A and B are shown apart, each in its own frame.
Chain A
Amino acid sequence: MSVRVDPAPFDAGAELNRFAAAQTGAGAVVSFTGVVRDVAGGLLEMQIEHYPGMTEKAIAAMVDTALDRFGLTGALVIHRHGVLGPDDPIMMVATAAPHRKDAFAAAEFLMDYLKSRAPFWKKEVTGDGTGWVASKDEDEEALDRWGGA
């Protein structure tokens, strides 16, 4: 298991290759990369705040759950904080499992939990001012399908 919460940019391709090479018995490796999206146009930067200490613990707990629940051979979570620009990679998740379905499901599980259970908050800075990104009901509802809070 590997969890990294860091302001530094990361190379998703290199991270994925390193992760895949470290797996044993994985027939499937899945990765997801989240990118800063300029939703309304005019986004200058995205500021990501987090709760040092709790963030790492919360992510480690969800990764532990995923490893167990989906029988993963490994999982990787990288999440940036600090100031990012449009099109910058924010985070990535990689999962490896003997079979494809488990690897895909585990990646979705981790994404759903990272969205609303890891203590990160996004603030958008545009030419018109700044605003905190509001959470969405659908993000909370996405957790229902995993049967947990």
Chain B
Amino acid sequence: MIDVLYFAWVRERIGLPKERVETAAATVADLVAELSAREERYAAAFADLSALKVALDQELSDFDAPLAGVREVAFFPPMTGG
């Protein structure tokens, strides 16, 4: 089981901030493919990965990163702090 978090317009498009996902995905990209296959709202949120960032256990990472040992995955648009 892995905690998947969504922020900003990704959260709005998918319609929830957080969920627990049972997955055997090897990489972030595999997880994205699994989620996108579930429902249209996921496919819509993940349509353009170049517009998204991913964090693994609260560290910025990449879509080709492995998920082994990861407890928390977060998807969000580029940050706009400051």
Q: Kindly provide the distance from the CB of A63 to the nearest chain B CB, expressed in whole angstroms.
A: 14
CB pair B79–A132 under 8 Å, yes or no, is no
Interface centre among B7, B76, B79 (most CB of A within 10 A): B79
CB pair B77–A121 under 8 Å, yes or no, is yes
Contact of A51 among B58, B78, B80, B82 (CB under 8 A): B58
Chain A contacts of B7 at CB under 8 A? 49, 51, 119, 121
CB pair A91–B82 under 8 Å, yes or no, is yes
Q: Would you call the interface of chain A mostly helix, strand, loop, or mixed?
A: mixed
For chain A, residues 48 to 84, give those with C-beta under 8 angstroms from any C-beta of chain B.
Answer: 49-51, 53-54, 57-58, 79
How many B residues have CB within 8 A of the partner chain?
A: 16
Residue of B nearest to A112 (CB): B82
Give me 27 A-to-B residue pairs in the complex whose CB atoms sit less than 8 angstroms apart, sorted by A's number: A34-B82, A50-B81, A51-B55, A51-B74, A53-B58, A54-B55, A58-B58, A91-B82, A111-B82, A114-B82, A115-B80, A115-B81, A116-B79, A116-B80, A119-B76, A119-B81, A120-B80, A121-B7, A121-B8, A121-B77, A121-B80, A123-B8, A132-B8, A132-B80, A134-B80, A135-B77, A135-B80
